Amino acid sequence: MPMTKTNERLFVVTGGPGAGKTTLLTALAAAGHRVAPEAGRAIIRDQLAIDGPALPWRDRALFAELMLSFDMRSQGEAKASPAAVFFDRGIPDTVGYLRLCGLEVPEHLDRAARAFRYARIVFAAPPWREIYAQDAERKQDFAEAERTYDAVTAAYRDHGYELVELPRADVATRTAFVLERVASIRVSLPGGSDTI
């Protein structure tokens, strides 16, 4: 299936767990930008609350299906926004997750990754040992966080995205880096605006 056109208002921040993605997105939201939450953490919270089966340590394939559904809905809602929207992960992350787990990527997931497109530039938060910490929802060790980064960034490349690595820097520096890059992309578009 050919890839559909990218949507240059929908920006993904990806990477392994514990690399500062959510902290960056929280700062963007605090500055007034629209942010779509991470599917995986939301699903884990919901499933833990009901002792549900769709947890990554119980049923990885079911967990991936719920992430796909969550991300498709998030993207559909975001398309109505005239301003930039920042996503804490996107559909190709689920492709990378399944590959990391050694599970087959279903055809419908690959079709979704090709049809539900984000901006061609994807921000990647590299593994960063100094800030990495485990918690109730993040059970991976640092080595698995590195493998996750490799798997999800490969999935984005395989789906035609260009990755821009975030600097290993404080949140203010990362926020400025992202906003400057987004502004330059938006201005370069036909009919583009410097409003993000």
In the chain the domains, ranked by start, together with CATH numbers, are: 10-188 (3.40.50.300)
pLDDT of residue 92: 98
Residues 94-145: pLDDT tens digits? 999 999 999 999 999 999 999 999 999 999 999 888 877 766 666 677 888 8
Residues 57-88: pLDDT tens digits? 999 999 999 999 999 999 999 988 889 999 99
How many residues make up the chain in this entry?
196
On the question of pLDDT at 195 being above 60, the answer is: no
Q: How confident is the model at residue 43 (pLDDT cuts 50, 70, 90)?
A: very high
Prediction pTM value: 0.89
CA–CA distances in Å: residue 141 to residues 25, 38, 42, 49, 125? 23, 19, 20, 24, 17
Q: Retrieve residue 20's tokens.
A: 């500062």
Q: Retrieve residue 36's tokens.
A: 């779509």
> Which residues lie below 8 Å from residue 58, measured CB to CB, with a gap of 6+?
none
On the question of pLDDT at 53 being above 90, the answer is: yes
pLDDT of residue 133: 74
What is the SS3 assignment for the chain?
A: CCCCCCCCCEEEEEECCCCCHHHHHHHHHHCCCEEECCHHHHHHHHHHHHCCCCCCCCCHHHHHHHHHHHHHHHHHHHCCCCCCEEEECCHHHHHHHHHHCCCCCCHHHHHHHHHCCCCCEEEEECCCHHHCCCCCCCCCCHHHHHHHHHHHHHHHHHCCCEEEECCCCCHHHHHHHHHHHHHHHHHHCCCCCCCC
Share of the chain above pLDDT 90, in %: 73
Contact 18, 133 (CB under 8 A): yes
Better-predicted residue by pLDDT, 18 or 10: 10
Contact 87, 119 (CB under 8 A): no
Nearest C-alpha neighbor of 171 from the set 131, 135, 138, 142: 131
